[in-house]
Homo-oligomer: A and B are copies of this chain.
Amino acid sequence: MKRIAVGIDVGGTNSAFGFVDSGGNIIASGNIKTDITDDFDVYLNLLTSEINNVFNTIQGEYEIDGYGIGAPNGNYFHGTIENAPNLRWKGKIEFTKKLSAFTGKPAYLTNDANAAAIGEKIFGKAKDLNDFVVITLGTGLGSGIYCGGKLLYGHTSQAGEVGHIIVEKNGRLCGCGRKGCLERYASATGIKLTANELLKNTNRKSLLRNYPENEIGSKLIYECAVKGDELAMECFDFTGEILGRALANVTAVLSPEAIFLFGGLALAGDLIFNPVRKYCEENLLNVFKNTVKIEKSGLKENSAAILGAAALFYSESGI
């Protein structure tokens, strides 16, 4: 019997899961709707049923060792999801306790950005690195940090909120209620806000003016930038400048060997990496110049979250 772990990625809309071996191969996968119910017990029942259904297709060869879960507002210390604004279950959800009671197997949970970092360490480009940062550029900006070979949790288990570093005093209003957080500039949402500001506050020509405001998103801005649209290219430069400067400050604190960018915006390639690298390097303290690589994540976009969650299990269980 080959042994596998189940990696579960809990998103606001969907929960995806996969059976992952210790080499990082996804043997089989499936998903259910997350937002189908506000009763966590009902959700857990549906999730474990579907996991069983898919497991039946591979059961003869494999045995499940345990579960790893990546979830928004995940608390690693307690195995809970706590007051996640994008999930229907309110309050504190005892995810690992209930899942383990149900399955009889060990389960570990952390937030999604930490799972991405663990995935990078176990299955990605960071296998030999002890000090690195993974930045996930999605609707918001998440981060997972390794220091001295260990994931950084801090006192509260909530360390690594790089997206909520305040980078502009009295800047853009953030979902957290404060102003000027990095994720309001460096994320899919951030670049969209930047484009809308540039379109509204200037009369400059842009292909983006051919689209209604609600269609202008990071993908369209990318497509226009690729066509040479100057305003769209400026959106990437502006985003890269703010992110690059913030990463220079993060480097002053942590001195990582590498920073991996992951998620939608990172798919823009040179358009985002060139300005991020340039402005980070420009703003680095001398001792850190040429000490930190900024690279694309080694995990594939569509499997990273499941691999990260499974990696959490492998990392914790030592299997």
Contact = CB atoms under 8 A, between A and B. Distances in A.
Interface of A: 130-131, 145, 147-148, 150, 152-162, 164-166, 169, 176-178, 245, 248-250, 252-257, 283, 285-288, 291-292
Contacts of A153: 148, 255
Contact of A176 (B249, B250, B257, B286): B286
Given A155-B256, A157-B255, A159-B253, 19 more contacts: A147-B150, A147-B152, A148-B148, A152-B254, A154-B256, A155-B292, A156-B287, A159-B255, A160-B253, A161-B255, A162-B252, A164-B285, A165-B249, A165-B252, A165-B253, A166-B283, A176-B285, A249-B249, A250-B253
Q: Is the interface of A mostly helix, strand, loop or mixed?
A: loop
Most buried by B among A130, A165, A249: A249
A257 B145 CA distance: 17
B248 A166 contact: yes
Given A131-B154, A155-B131, A291-B156, A252 B164 contact: yes
B254 A253 contact: yes
30 contacts: A130-B155, A131-B154, A145-B253, A147-B148, A147-B150, A147-B152, A147-B159, A148-B150, A148-B152, A152-B254, A153-B255, A154-B256, A155-B257, A155-B291, A155-B292, A158-B255, A159-B253, A160-B253, A160-B255, A161-B252, A161-B253, A161-B255, A161-B287, A162-B252, A162-B253, A169-B245, A176-B286, A178-B285, A253-B253, A253-B254
